[in-house]
Chain A
Amino acid sequence: DVKVTQSSRYLVKRTGEKVFLECVQDMDHENMFWYRQDPGLGLRLIYFSYDVKMKEKGDIPEGYSVSREKKERFSLILESASTNQTSMYLCASSFRAVRVRLTEAFFGQGTRLTVV
């Protein structure tokens, strides 16, 4: 059974703290993604990685950084948490497409982060 595992389901942090969200996949996928999900806004891409040590900015990278030292692990870092970063964070992974075609994205269960 394929799996994407996020380190925490729920997290409460104080404003200004450095926050680490961890994601591990066991499917040998090349691609990994971090999204945030807010009501009425759909999923917004923060960062993605298509290979180890490679990272690319998504649509809303400000205030975030990422790390991918190993193929199976992709970490999202909030450098200095702020209340507007309160959200549901979703990690996903997928195979790299051979042609221009969407491949299946497998998602973790999400981390609901509250910044107070």
Chain B
Amino acid sequence: TQLLEQSPQFLSIQEGENLTVYCNSSSVFSSLQWYRQEPGEGPVLLVTVVTGGEVKKLKRLTFQFGDARKDSSLHITAAQPGDTGLYLCAGGESNYQLIWGAGTKLIIKP
């Protein structure tokens, strides 16, 4: 059974700090996505990574796909209160077969 393990499960930090969250598996994924979900809303796609070793930047967010395509990380520089939310990773061969991580709940305190 494929699993995606996210760590940490919960993170509470001060505005301006840096942080990294991880998404790990023993399985290889053809591509992997990161979503952010705000309270009372559905998840919204942040990025899709497809190539081993790929790095994508979205303003202060940096996403990396592991060389072996088994893991990924999300690094946030100078976190802002607007970054607060649940960060979910999802991997798989197709949208029909997505494996979802349980999520990292991030709180950025002003």
Identify which of A31, A43, A101, A106 contacts B31 (C-beta below 8 A): A101
Given A41-B102, A102-B48, A104-B45: A110 in contact with B40 (beta carbons within 8 A): yes
A97 to B100, CA, bound (A): 19
Q: Is A94 on the interface with B (CB-CB < 8 A)?
A: yes
- How many residues of B are in contact with the other chain, CB < 8 A? 26
Q: How many A-B residue pairs have CB under 8 A?
A: 69
Which A residues are CB-close (under 8 A) to B48? Answer: 101-102, 104
Which of the residues A40, A43, A45 comes within 8 Å of B88, measured between beta carbons?
A43
B101 cross-chain contacts in A, Cβ below 8 A: 42
Range for the number of chain A residues in contact with chain B: 20 to 34
Interface residues of A (CB under 8 A from B): 4, 9, 31, 33, 40-45, 48, 50, 56, 90, 92, 94, 97, 100-110
Residues in B lying within 8 Å of A, measured CB to CB: 4, 9, 30-33, 40-45, 48, 50, 88, 90, 92-96, 98, 100-103
Assuming A40-B102, A102-B98, what are 13 further A-B pairs, CB within 8 angstroms? A4-B42, A42-B4, A50-B96, A90-B43, A97-B94, A102-B33, A102-B92, A104-B33, A107-B42, A107-B44, A109-B40, A109-B41, A110-B40
